[in-house]
Amino acid sequence: MNTPIRKPKSAAGTRSDSVYAGLRRAIIEQALMPGDKLTEDVIGERFGVSRTIVRTVLARLHAEGLVDMQPNKGAAIAQPSLSEAQDVFETRMCLERQVLVRLAEKVTSDDIERLQRHVHLETKANAHDGPAAIRLAGEFHILLASLSGNGVLARYVDEVVSRCSLILALYGRPHSSDCSIHEHQQIIDALQSRNSQAAIDAMDHHLKAVSDRALLSSTSDKHRDIRSILDRYAS
């Protein structure tokens, strides 16, 4: 049987993926905030790509609910309503419960070790790198979903976790990352004991604490330098 030959990605495809990854990370780390304008020329200049590639990336982020695109108004980081935010958190809780049901049945010692290593990274980042700590907190949930073995479930969890980061940037109030790390450890401990109900209870408590912080922020910065922000994510 002949092995099918995989075509290498085109240079344009590689550049598109790089811009997508950079912008998405800037959104998740809350460097780019809800309402920030995303000008094609500025993004193209900072990442060194054409406007065609930028449009493709913005369309991809729009499909994930991270970017708003309106005719004659261009693109901006999405600003979900409180009602939409509640819907996203409700959906996330349902998805993550199912992740834990599946994972408690099949979790391995290697899985537990990967989760422990991730929490260790969270602890290190919490001490000196706020943006990375925000991103790693979300990636813990994405890792749980990937370990469940259900690719569709993992994809949906990835999307809702990213949208929750955006929601917290818009509505959230400050919260100690130490609490989140402790709650992540409780979930790991329950999984290690193969106690799916304890894991679900820990996750419900954790996500309720996160959603309860979704209060309207009174701070707003109208003079954000998007060029300098993008420079940090264009490398």
165 and 88 in a single domain? The answer is yes
8-state DSSP, 172: B
Helix (H, G, I), strand (E, B) or coil at 97: helix
- This model's pTM is above 0.75: yes
Distance CA(103)–CA(173), nearest Å, equals: 31
- How would you list the strands of the sheet with 37-38, edge to edge? 37-38, 74-77, 67-70
8-state DSSP, 35: T
E-strand stretches of 60-194:
67-70, 74-77
What's the CATH number where 108 sits? Answer: 1.20.120.530
pLDDT in tens, 198-234: 999 999 999 988 887 664 443 444 456 777 777 777 8
Distance CA(140)–CA(30), nearest Å, equals: 17
Q: Which domain holds residue 22?
A: 11-79+219-231
182 and 193 in a single domain? The answer is yes
pLDDT in tens, 109-137: 999 999 999 999 999 988 777 788 888 99
